[in-house]
Structures are given as C-alpha cells and as structure tokens.
Chain A
C-alpha cells in the first residue's frame, strides 16, 4: 500500500481504501470518500479540527484508545473504523454526555428540523438518558444583539462561534467565560455583538443556541422554500439562499460559493431584507398635480411617462433625457433603459451611481478575482476608509490570506482594522493622497514596490473611484504586474456600464442639466439630492427639469423635486443577472413577491418600451440573450449556462501600457475631514431597524489631536466640514494620522474642516 508518492497518503476507513493529500485529517479523508463520521465542532472553514466535542471518536488500529478523527492526521497504512462496536460505544457515550444538560426542547426550538444535534441524536446515543438530576438552566433568551438570540442551555460548547469571532472575523467579542462545564458563551458584560459579520455564528452553531432574532418562531423547515440567489447589497455578490414563507423573505442564509464568499455573509446582506416589508415602501404610482402627489394606476403612469419622455425629445431634441441609476439595477434593466435611450429617445445620458464614470471598467485588463486573494503573496489596500465598509467579505478573505502567510500593506490615514493584522505594514498617507503615496511607493525601491512586483500581488482600492485614481492603479498594475481587485460602490456598477447604461460621469450629466441640454431626468433607485455630490445643484436641476421621474423603493430627498414617482422592485424580488466586482455574471432569482402595487423593474421598462415603439424582449432571460448578442462583455454567455455557482469568465488580455498618470499635488489642510459611506447605510438599512445598532456613532480623531483638545473617547466633539456641522462622541484612535478626523457621512467627502470639543454645559442646554 505504501507508495513512493510523497504528497498523498493512503489509508483505510471502514474497509475502504482512500488516497488523500497529505495533511488531511481522518474526518476530511472520510468526507472525501463520501463516508460520514459524525462531527459537531469540526468545520473546515474555521481551520483545523480542535477536538472539542469528541463526537468523531473512531477506532484506529494499533492505538489503544479511541481517537478524535478531526484532530488525527491521515497517515499511510492507517486503518480506521468509525462503525466498530467500540467506536459506536464511544460516540454514543459522547452524545449522551452532550445531552446531559441539553433541554431537548426541539418542539419550541427554531433549529428543530435542520439541527445537526437533533439529527445525530436520532442516529447515535442510547436514546434514553440516565440523567435523573435537575438539568442546568440559564436565563433565556439572552439577546446577544438585536440580531442574535442565545438560548444558553442548548449550547454544547463546541467553540465554533468563539473561533469564528476570534479567528475568522477577528472581532474577539463573542467569547467563552469561565471553565469546563461552567463555561458560558457571552459578550463582554452583555454588550451587543456589534461586528458586521456577527450573523454567521447563527449558521455555524450546530444547535439552537445561537439563532437569528428576526427569524425567531417564524417558520418550520417543512414550511419554507430556500431560493438560491445572490446578495445585492454590495459588489461582492455573495451567494445566498432566501428563505421564503408565504411569499415573504424570512431570513437570508449563505450558499457557499468557494470563489466568492466561502459561505460568509455580512449582516447587511443577511438582515437588510427587513426593508422589503417596511410600511414606508412606495407601493403606489404618484403623479404631482395641482393638489400634490396623486395616486394613479400602472397603466396611467406608463402612459404619462411615455408621453412626457416623447414630449421632452420632441421639444428639446434628442439627447435631452438622462437616466441616473443607483447601481443596483440588473443587467437586463440596464439594457432595457440603454435601448430606450438609444432607440426611442435619440440617445441620452446614462449615469451609474455617484461615483459614476467607467473608471472601474478601465481597470478590466488588470482585474483580479476574489479568490486571487487566497494565494496572494502580497495584498496592498489603499484608500481613506476601512475596506469593510465597501466590500465587507473581502476583509475575511484578507484575514485568511494573512493566516496563509500573505503580507499586507495598507496605504491611507490609518486606523483601519487591516492595519493591525499580524505582519501588516502601514504606509501613512494624508486623506485624498493614498493614490499618490501608492504611485510613489510602487515606483520606488522600498518594500511595497518589491511586494507589488512579487508573485501574486493584489492591489485593492478602498474608496470612491476617480479618473486620477484609476490612472494610477492602471499604471501601477501595468508596471509592477500586480492585479487590481475593484470595489465599485454598488452591486452592479460594472454590469450596468457593460450593458451600455451609465458610462457618463455624474458631474458631466449635472452640467448638461444645468446648461439646459438635459430636460428630463429619470432616477432609477438613485437619490442624487441626498446621496450624491452637489446635492443642492441636483435639486435645482430636478426642479428646473421639464420632466423628472423617480423609480424608487422609498421616498427620499429627491422625491420632493420630481414630478412622478413609481415604486421600484427590490433586488430580492427581481429575476435577472448582476456582475460582481470581479466581473462574474451571477443569477438573481426573484425570491419574494413584491408588495401589491409594485411592478417588476424589467417588465415595467419593457411596457414603457412598447409605448415608445421599442419592442424589448418580454422577460429577463430573453433580455439576457439579447444583451449577449449586442454587448461584447456578455458575448457567449447564456442564461441557463450561469448555473447556481457562477463561473468567472476569461480574463481580458493586458493591452498596451496605459498613459502615464497625471497626479495633481494636493495641498493637505491642517485638519482634514474624511466622510465615508458606512456599510450600514442606504435605504435598505435605514428601513431595517434591527441593523441600526451596528452603525458607527463615533467621530474618529487622532490621539494627539484628542490630547490637544482635551477630549477622551466618548466625549462630545463637533466637526465642521463640507458646509455643515456634526456633533458626536469622539472615538480616539491611536493609529489615525494626526490632523485627520473621520466619520460616516451620507455623501463621501474629503476636505478641510475643523474640530472642537463640545463643552458639557452646552450639551445639557
């Protein structure tokens, strides 16, 4: 049996000979061969087995005592039996022990029906308990946060949740206190678990101890349907399963795509579905008339919109209509609108999101894939804000890569979570100059330059994209050979640009509107007044337009300035495709039924098309086929070929060297304020109350500046920037560059500002 081959081992499990790579544990070897060894604590995504639960006891020839298969490396010639009488006896005894204090309250437990403990109890264990003493009880339920509930007496102390908290997300907030049988899972003195990846522990917990609060007592596994779809809350596009009961989404679970999310979700993606049934959702078509907004039927609103758009082009000529998309529209919707603009409205302007432009697409030839991070030698993250706010799950990939030996460089004003990773090197750069610092570092001969030129280097830009930044990234990628992982702001910016909508910059569109060239504005999910730069100018532009239509899920700052409002279907209600930040085309499946009165976004656009004389394909699959025919980025793709776990297309060839970047030297003011868009923002979060506790409330201030002002963490400070003042508790950051003040803001902004302590008396008044 022994071979000269050194990279594999061959062993026998339950009489089957199995060859596996060296380093596999017996549990992994068995799984590879399709043989089941019962486990609770072992979970491959948490790393090597730790032998905590003892459920995987097996008999191994030549070893007198039973061994835990999850901690025993497979070895050549090993003979394992997980079914022998002794192994069974051990497994049964362990199960009996695990149930000693377990309440066996399956009938009222949310995990019932999909619970590993329940399942294994049916197949292992004595079936009756010898425990006659009272079982241990605890207070219950314990709210670990507004999202997670702990029923402590159900816990079997497998340590999955604490290992996730410590090793995967690194937040170290969910821990075990005390020792042995007295151990309890807890946060520090009952404080809420605020990490944005917290919800993953509810999926990891193999029993009903940690469960999802919004899902509590809502459904039983036999009453639900799990619809495979993808998350649309950021551009990563984590694969999800939406649990549906009676047409409603009741929870969102991960659906492990090993190249995209490895089975992790952030809490925005997991919980923000709460907005779907918010009472504030727009569910009626509204037209502004003499007496304010009046509700009309879908047919009437379609007639009205078609009429107004036609009238705009008739009166002001072709090119007088602009579509501003938020970036969350499907490729099919974008395609429909692009065709409407081209074929019915004489060509118009399409803008995608406040960062707009096609700069992310310019980086296509250098694009990295998410899974490039897994084998990366070096990861450089540059930008002004935490990457976790822009593309959260990437942070978990980076943490894992660091565990595998990758080096990390962070370039920016500091105090991001990545700066403190083991072996991370921080290159301090004033806000707004991270790209300049990157250019300098990459062109020099220091450590960052070597690292970028080294094997498998990945560069990530964490911040709004501008043309100047894009040119620097392209230049650095071209000269050093690294790849760039793009982080567009919204779910489908790359797809929308590829579908031909949204190639103009917001600034250019605004100027056209101000100069009177654009006379009709169509807002697809976008709120330029509230969310975009120069909101006031957008407001004036909307007010002066001949026609302004808003397709939206919720009324917002722009709603008061438009003439027509149409309810928008949300991502979880749509069929279609999205392109994630790698360029992967993924399938969105309508999981929930939109509330009454809300038309499907694509169907509505197609209806509008037929009124404007453009025959659009009748449904998203047909639209995708049409898209594949017309747009090179989609060429060769087919709707049915995307599958449940979408593959990544071929990489575009790297072309000629891009033009040398022109970087204007920036004057750095004494106090510079960074306003960044935090993860827990946007309409979906605004209308999901359970998520609000995760918002960052503090204003980050550098240690030296806080000393100078005489403030400590928690003291009130006031920041003036971008024309307004914000007061909030200070969060003193030792790692932050002096002179920098950073806070969450609706409209990202970097610029001069001032900060002052707020005297306590002023606060009382």
Chain B
C-alpha cells in the first residue's frame, strides 16, 4: 500500500516516524543476496545487519520461510537458526505467510486498559477468525502484538504496518469495509 492510500484510511493519524514502506517488486533492482550484502556493508558488525537483512527477505517473500532464513544466513554468514532466533523475537517479522492485509492489535497493558480486548474481539467477530490466523480467502491476517510504544493513544492497531490510534471497536467495521473495497 502506498502512503497516500494509508492517509485516506479512516482516521489514520501518523504521529511518529514510519518504517520505510517495502519496495514494490519491480523496483527491487538487485537480487536479494546483493541487497543484503549492501546492508551488511553499512555496519561495522555483520550481526547488526541481521535486522535489515531479515526485513529485506520479508519484503521479497512476504514472510520469512525456511528458504528466506537460509538465504539471509548465507549472505550474512550466520546460521538459519540464529536468523530465526532474531526474527522470532520481534513481532514485525512474519514467521508464517500473511493475508493480503495484516491487522495487528496491541494487547499490552496500556492498550488493554482502554479496551484493546474489545477491539480485538470485534475484529475476530467481523472476520470470523481467531487472533493469530488468516481468513480462508487469504485477505486478512489478525494478530495480537505487544506494546507499539503508542501507549498514550491506545488502543493501537497497525494495519499493514501503519499505526491507527486510538482504535476503538467502532472503527473496525469501517476499516474492514474500506480494505475490502480495495483491489487485491
């Protein structure tokens, strides 16, 4: 999704720096290995490049598969095990294929106190899936995450890596309608 689309999403408020959006496939000039090697070259410690390298692999495949870990390992000189150990620590790496849209609801303490549970249940009900799963048509993945650092504006929901805050249960339906209206 490009930033412009994100802006038009109901009530999207960008309050803090965003991670750069993934490059669309046709703009990724170099093969994955070369892009990872370029990232490794930016750091004094190859290990520091693991985070961007994993990110690059996720961009390439949409999620971190066995093969993706093997490629990151090969390019960075670490093992697939270590790469997965790092990736599994963070919420924003996908260890499973995700739907076309990924909805993450923060259920950590601050958000929980202001109703994240209801938001989550509403998503669950609307989509007909449990948190941690993907709709049968492959369009939506619903996940819970830990603190996004937006505790003052909870509940925080991220939709395709964009924050939406505060996100009460009443916003669930309009958001889904809008996403469903989009192609893809």
A binding-site residues for B, Cβ under 8 Å = 166, 171-179, 186-189, 420
Interface flags for B105-117 (1: CB within 8 Å of A; 0: not) read 0000000000000
Given A188-B69, A189-B66; A173-B81 close (CB under 8 Å): yes
A48 to B183, CA, bound (A): 55
Choose one: B78, B81, B84, B88; the contact of A174 (CB below 8 Å).
B81
B43 within 8 A of A: no
Name the CB-closest residue of A to B78: A172
Contacts of B5 in A (CB 8 A): none
Apart from A177-B85, A186-B81, A187-B81, 8 more pairs, CB < 8 Å: A171-B79, A172-B78, A175-B85, A176-B85, A179-B89, A188-B80, A188-B84, A189-B66
B98 CB to nearest A CB, Å: 18
Q: Are A178 and B88 in contact (CB under 8 A)?
A: yes
B51 within 8 A of A: no
**Which interface class (under 10, 10 to 19, 20 to 34, 35 or more) fits B?**
10 to 19
B82 within 8 A of A: yes
Q: Are B79 and A172 in contact (CB under 8 A)?
A: yes
B56 CB to nearest A CB, Å: 19
Q: Are B88 and A188 in contact (CB under 8 A)?
A: no
B2 CB to nearest A CB, Å: 32
Choose one: A173, A177, A179, A186; the contact of B79 (CB below 8 Å).
A173
Interface residues of B in 45-66 (CB under 8 A from A): 66
Contacts of A177 in B (CB 8 A): 84-85, 88
Q: Are B89 and A178 in contact (CB under 8 A)?
A: yes
Contacts of A187 in B (CB 8 A): 81
Tell me whether chain B's interface is mostly helix, strand or loop, or mixed.
helix
Contacts of B78 in A (CB 8 A): 172
Contacts of B89 in A (CB 8 A): 178-179
Interface flags for B72-113 (1: CB within 8 Å of A; 0: not) read 000001111110110011000000000000000000000000
Q: Are A420 and B77 in contact (CB under 8 A)?
A: yes
Choose one: B69, B82, B88; the contact of A172 (CB below 8 Å).
B82
Name the CB-closest residue of B to A179: B89
A230 to B69, CA, bound (A): 41
A700 CB to nearest B CB, Å: 15
Contacts of B80 in A (CB 8 A): 188-189
A176 to B79, CA, bound (A): 13
B43 CB to nearest A CB, Å: 14
Q: List 24 A-B contacts (CB under 8 A).
A: A171-B79, A172-B79, A172-B82, A173-B79, A173-B81, A174-B81, A175-B81, A175-B82, A175-B85, A176-B85, A177-B85, A177-B88, A178-B89, A179-B88, A186-B81, A187-B81, A188-B69, A188-B79, A188-B80, A188-B81, A189-B66, A189-B80, A189-B84, A420-B77
Q: Are A166 and B82 in contact (CB under 8 A)?
A: yes
A183 to B88, CA, bound (A): 9
Contacts of A171 in B (CB 8 A): 79
Most B-side CB within 10 Å, residue of A172, A179, A186: A172
Name the CB-closest residue of A to B83: A188
A572 CB to nearest B CB, Å: 34
B49 CB to nearest A CB, Å: 15
A155 CB to nearest B CB, Å: 15
Name the CB-closest residue of B to A174: B81
Contacts of B81 in A (CB 8 A): 172-175, 186-188
Name the CB-closest residue of B to A170: B79
Name the CB-closest residue of A to B87: A177
Contacts of B85 in A (CB 8 A): 175-177
Contacts of A166 in B (CB 8 A): 82
A181 CB to nearest B CB, Å: 12
Contacts of A178 in B (CB 8 A): 88-89
Most A-side CB within 10 Å, residue of B78, B79, B80: B79
Choose one: A175, A179, A420; the contact of B84 (CB below 8 Å).
A175
A165 to B81, CA, bound (A): 11
Contacts of A186 in B (CB 8 A): 81
A662 CB to nearest B CB, Å: 40
A148 CB to nearest B CB, Å: 15
Contacts of B88 in A (CB 8 A): 177-179
Contacts of A420 in B (CB 8 A): 77
Name the CB-closest residue of A to B69: A188
A171 to B73, CA, bound (A): 12
A169 CB to nearest B CB, Å: 12
Contacts of B66 in A (CB 8 A): 189
A187 to B79, CA, bound (A): 10
B72 CB to nearest A CB, Å: 12
A689 to B148, CA, bound (A): 50
- The 9 closest A-B CB pairs, nearest first, are A175-B85, A188-B81, A172-B79, A177-B88, A172-B82, A188-B80, A175-B81, A178-B88, A179-B89
A625 to B89, CA, bound (A): 61
Name the CB-closest residue of B to A420: B77
Contacts of B79 in A (CB 8 A): 171-173, 188
A178 to B79, CA, bound (A): 16
A233 to B79, CA, bound (A): 29
Name the CB-closest residue of B to A189: B66
A193 to B82, CA, bound (A): 13
A359 to B159, CA, bound (A): 71
Name the CB-closest residue of B to A734: B74
Contacts of A173 in B (CB 8 A): 79, 81
Name the CB-closest residue of A to B66: A189
Interface flags for B100-142 (1: CB within 8 Å of A; 0: not) read 0000000000000000000000000000000000000000000
A172 to B81, CA, bound (A): 7
A555 to B88, CA, bound (A): 50
A152 to B35, CA, bound (A): 37
Contacts of A172 in B (CB 8 A): 78-79, 81-82
Most B-side CB within 10 Å, residue of A166, A177, A187: A177
Contacts of A189 in B (CB 8 A): 66, 80, 84
Name the CB-closest residue of A to B86: A175
B30 CB to nearest A CB, Å: 18
A178 to B88, CA, bound (A): 5
A186 CB to nearest B CB, Å: 8
B166 CB to nearest A CB, Å: 26
Contacts of B69 in A (CB 8 A): 188
Contacts of A179 in B (CB 8 A): 88-89
A82 CB to nearest B CB, Å: 33
B21 CB to nearest A CB, Å: 26
A719 CB to nearest B CB, Å: 23
Contacts of B82 in A (CB 8 A): 166, 172, 175
A275 CB to nearest B CB, Å: 30
A177 to B95, CA, bound (A): 11
A623 to B104, CA, bound (A): 76
A188 to B81, CA, bound (A): 4
A420 CB to nearest B CB, Å: 7
A442 to B156, CA, bound (A): 64
B82 CB to nearest A CB, Å: 4
Contacts of A175 in B (CB 8 A): 81-82, 84-85
B139 CB to nearest A CB, Å: 27
A7 to B84, CA, bound (A): 43
Interface flags for B10-54 (1: CB within 8 Å of A; 0: not) read 000000000000000000000000000000000000000000000
B73 CB to nearest A CB, Å: 9
A447 to B80, CA, bound (A): 35
A36 CB to nearest B CB, Å: 33
A88 CB to nearest B CB, Å: 31
A172 to B89, CA, bound (A): 16
B104 CB to nearest A CB, Å: 15
A166 to B84, CA, bound (A): 14
